[in-house]
Amino acid sequence: MSTLSLPISISFCPNSLSIQFQSQHRRQRVTFPRKVKIICSGTEQPQQPPPRQQYSKKKNVTEGEKGVDPVGFLTKLGISHKAFAQFLRERHKALKDLKDEILKRHVNFRDMSTGYEILGMHRHVEHRVDYLEWAPGARYCALVGDFNGWSPTENCAREGHFGHDDFGYWFIILEDKLREGEKPDELYFQQYNYVDDFDKGDSGVTIEEIFKKANDEYWEPGEDRFVKNRFEVPAKLYEQIFGPNGPQTLEEMEKIMEETPDPETRHKAWKEQHKNDPPSNLPPFDVIDNGKEYDIFNVVSSPEWLEKIRAKKPPLAYWLETRKGRKAWLKKYTPGIPHGSKYRVYFNTPSGPLERVPAWATYVQPDTDGKQAYAIHWEPPPECVFKWKNKHPKVPKSLRIYECHVGISGSEPKISSFNDFTEKVLPHVKEAGYNAIQLIGVIEHKDYFTVGYRVTNFYAVSSRYGTPDDFKRLVDEAHGLGLLVFLEIVHSYSAADEMVGLSLFDGSNDCYFHTGKRGHHKYWGTRMFNYGDPDVLHFLLSNLNWWVVEYQIDGFQFHSLSSMMYTHNGFASFTGDLEEYCNQYVDKDALLYLILANEILHYLHPHIVTIAEDVTVYPGLCEPPSQGGLGFDYYVNLSVPEMWSSFLENVPDHEWSMSKIVSTLMRNTQYANKMLMYAENHNQSISGGRSFAEILFGEIGEHAQCSKESLLRGCSLHKMIRLITFTIGGRAYLNFMGNEFGHPKRVEFPMPSNNFSFQLANRRWDLLANGLHCDLFCFDKDLMKLDETEKILSRGLPLIHHVDDNTMVISYMRGPFLFAFNFHPTNSYERYNVGVEEAGEYQVILNTDETKYGGQALMKDDQYLRRTISKRIDGLRNCLEVSLPSRSAQVYKLSRILRV
């Protein structure tokens, strides 16, 4: 095991940057300096933040504290709030204390995050299976299953050192069973190689010959005699000191010791006498007097001999010759718990006997009849184990994420499998131009209709969709297509079902969760983790590392952080005052967990991507922990889909506010580059809501005139909403499966309210054949291709220079690209003036009104190339007269620069 400690211990440097604080009693609001200029006609330039020089005064920083400032991001953003700055310092100190506590029990932080290597069920090389479980509230622990007739006494934790430790971990050994007629191994520590069939141990060389060769190589001539006879050295020393007729009683010893020199003097004389002898004749020990009255002499190893021994390498090559292969093991033993066996863990608790699904189980089968689930031992033979073929793709500078739910990914009214998804959906994602997929509902959960958010078994892929190897094949094929694979992870709460989940796992109410009201979500009926418990941290951090190591996951989206970061679970009004992020309702332990998770993940896996889903936009989400942040790579702007949904359902087209659209899309401009944007997410299709296509198109009729007008309006808005959401934000964009072609139906999982119908729990891929949905998909493909070829998202943030609520026109530039939107439902503009910085010719490279996208093609061919006019407008040096048909948008690219 590696003992390399992670360099993530952070030293606390108080007041490393002096910040001017206002009065403690004055409430402060979060004010972020704007890097993106939003200039409307007749408006003034936004004021710039105070110069940074006023914060430049620093105190001396020690060598171990360089680059660390617990309130560093406040200084960078020019925010002064005394209470929040003090909270960050206290949180930083608490993080240091937590790390110190962790390192008292673990070798390093890698050891802290790899609990899956020892907990749960694991094959041991000494013909056995080891099982380790954490259940501090239990009094007795055993494994029950079909392999032992569900007996609670046959395979139990034995009393003593290996049965139950002080931290509540239970250890059970399942010995492999000897086949009839076979004898036990000569060596009690005989090892077997279960991975392949190569049997070094069956080469015909006896154990005695192997040990003799090992000793001959390891020991120098004559050295091993001291190992074979451990009394030779003290006997020789005794004879050297007292002669062949030495004292036989303590009285004689005391008398002689009074008359002879001290042992150290005599030993030095003896060494001087034998200094020319060969080393093999000298014992590898020194006799010294350590000055204690009750010690006559002390025998210790000589430094020279120790240095020589430590320089030797153990004869592992010979030791491996004793390890036998899988064929030898299969011939001699049958597995103590065969592959595919069903099992549970049995506890005797103060509340009575309990059977639970193991917390670290990697494959779980929920019972369809509402009975208790069981774990399945997954140990396929080596020839059936999945072998990875493809490497991780490189993380691109911009993310185009395709969000998926495996179960509803098929066209048929059933639960689709991992294999169905791999064969049918992955090629579609590649064709659509996305470079990453994000999977929801993959981790095991009890009820299918909960979409996978009420997780019961955090280390198991859902058996509804297939086996662990099926999921590995999905990930491997995605990597082969150049797609990153992200997982939506739910560590903010857990299912409250005692029959399958972690609730009352060991009979106590506080094993993994808080006790009392704190341990229950106020509205969702789920259990809340106790993030201050080191064993809970061990479980959760290891869980993150498990999905990366075992299944080659490339990143995580942390679901509903507001549920875990606040004791009110995020159900409170937020005004933006910084005091709301550091008051008594903030769970500091949860914040420390998120910091540890990001630090450890990014150290062990430097290319990992972490995304925060937090409706409160906690300050410092995407700042490094060394500067007071939480360390995420991206955060989700949850207000964008809510705004679009509100506009489409509640606001007439001519009353849409362009200013609100821009301000919502560019929310928190300081972190706009870290923003993950989407026009609509799965919640609007799954959580009782309607997709945009259902709102815009409704039930498509039989070619009625009003239906055609409705389709044209819906098609135009569908494209414009996606175009502005995609191009105005940061470096990440997300789309839910099917929304790219305007899926006409919402998602409804089978549940008692719909008589368990699968009618709406699928995707209509047949709609891509032709018609409106084919046109929308064509536009979405070209939109993704625009970023792939022109690197739109990875460029600098846009310069939004024209926002007019009267004309309903928005225009902004991003590098050499000009984006122009006309949201007006009826007004078209033939020569609309928008400002550009660079003089030259601008060519239309994307037009939402083209016929291949379902538009009317109102722009003429000669209007696709425009030349600037030397006229100052929108605060920019040049003017471009563009054609803007109603409900359309165009993307212009600077194709030729004109120098004056």
Q: What amino acid positions are annotated as catalytic residues? A: 613
3-class secondary structure, 123: strand
Distance CA 890, CA 659 (A): 19
Buried b (16+ CB within 10 A) or exposed e, 492-508: bbbbbbebbbbbbbbbb
Q: How far is CA 359 from CA 205, 213, 342, 773, in A?
A: 44, 46, 15, 45
Buried b (16+ CB within 10 A) or exposed e, 306-331: eeeeeeeeebeebeebbbbbbebbee
Measured distance between the N- and C-terminal CA atoms of the chain, rounded to whole angstroms: 68
Q: Is 19 exposed, middle or buried (0-12, 13-18, 19+ CB in 10 A)?
A: middle
Are the CB atoms for 849 and 779 separated by under 8 Å? no
Eight-class DSSP state of 71: T
Q: Is 856 exposed, middle or buried (0-12, 13-18, 19+ CB in 10 A)?
A: middle
Distance CA 315, CA 312 (A): 9
Torsion 638-644-649-651 (CA) sign: positive
438 φ, ψ (degrees, to nearest 5):
-125, 120
Are the CB atoms for 691 and 739 separated by under 8 Å? yes
Q: Largest Cα–Cα distance in the chain?
A: 125
Distance CA 484, CA 608 (A): 10
How many C-beta atoms surround the C-beta of residue 391 within 10 A?
A: 10
Nearest in space to 337 (alpha carbons), one of 374, 386, 302: 374
Residue 658: which residues within 8 A CB-CB, separation 6 or more?
803, 804, 805, 808, 809, 810, 823
Buried b (16+ CB within 10 A) or exposed e, 171-204: bbebebeeeeeeeebeeeebbbbbeeeebbbeee
Two tokens, residue 880: 């471009």
Report the run of H or E that residue 639 belongs to, with start and end. Answer: helix 639-650
User: What is the identity of the amino acid at 44?
Assistant: E
Distance CA 422, CA 427 (A): 8
User: What is the identity of the amino acid at 595?
Assistant: I
